[in-house]
Amino acid sequence: MGIQVRDLAGLGEWSAASRLYRRVFGYDQPEFGISPRLLAGLRENAGSVIGAFDPGGDLIGFCYGFSAVERGELYHYSQSAVVAPGAQGTGVGRRLKQAQAETARATGARTMRWTFDPYALRNAHFNFHVLGATAIRFLPDYYDDGASDRLLVSWDLTGPHTVRNRCSTVTAPASDSTAAPGAADRAALRDELIARFGTGRLVGVERRDQQAVYTFERDDT
C-alpha cells in the first residue's frame, strides 16, 4: 500500500492530527479538540503521537497515548486512534496500534490499555480477535454524558493471552454491527456485563445467528 507509519513531529503534523481527529469523530465543540501543544508534550515525555501517511503524504490515521501506573504496574494508555473514512478496513488501524505498542515497550511498559464501546461489534472483533486484548473492567457512562458505557481493555505486549480458566457467556440480540440495539435489551445486557466483571475478564465477543455472545474467563485465583 505504500503507507508510512511514524512519530509525528512539528506543529504542522500535530495540527493535521488534531483536524483529522475532529473530522473523523464529527466534533464541532472546541472543548472536544486536541491541542497540538498537548501532542508536543506527550511526544517529549514518554507518550505516543503516531501518524499514518498515504503515498501522497496525506495523514490518514493518528493515535496518541501516555504512560500511566496502577498499583505499581506501568502501562501505556492509548487515549484515541482514528483512521480517515477512505482508509478504514485497510489495516491502518492495526499498524498504528503495533507502532504504539513499540513506543510503549520502549518505556518499559508490558501492557497497553484503552477503552471502547462495549456494544460496537466491529470494534470488539478488532480488539479481541485481531489484537488479542482482554477486557478487565466495565466503566458505566465513562464520559458522564449519559451515553458512554465503555470497556477497559488490557493488551499484553509480551505475548498473546491464553485462556486457562473456566469460561461462561452472556448473550443479547444483535444487529449487523451493534449488540442489544433495543433499549430494554441494552439495559439488561449492561447490568449483566457489570455483574460478570465481578468474577472474571472478558476474552471475546462474537456475533452468532442474530446474537452477540460475550465470553468471560473466570478468575479462579
Task: Profile the chain (221 residues) by mean pLDDT over runs of 10 residues.
Answer: 93 98 95 96 97 97 98 97 95 96 97 98 95 96 96 94 86 97 97 95 95 92 54
Angstrom distance (rounded) from CA 196 to CA 216: 8
Ordered by start, the domain boundaries in the chain are: 1-109, 111-221
In 3D space, the residue among 36, 37, 40, 42 whose CA is nearest the CA of residue 67 turns out to be 42
List pLDDT tens digits, range 90-140: 999 999 999 999 999 999 999 999 999 999 999 999 999 999 999 999 999
CATH topology of domain 1-109: Aminopeptidase (3.40.630)
pTM, 2 dp: 0.93
- Main-chain dihedrals φ then ψ at residue 102, nearest 5 degrees: -65, -40
pLDDT of 94 reads 95
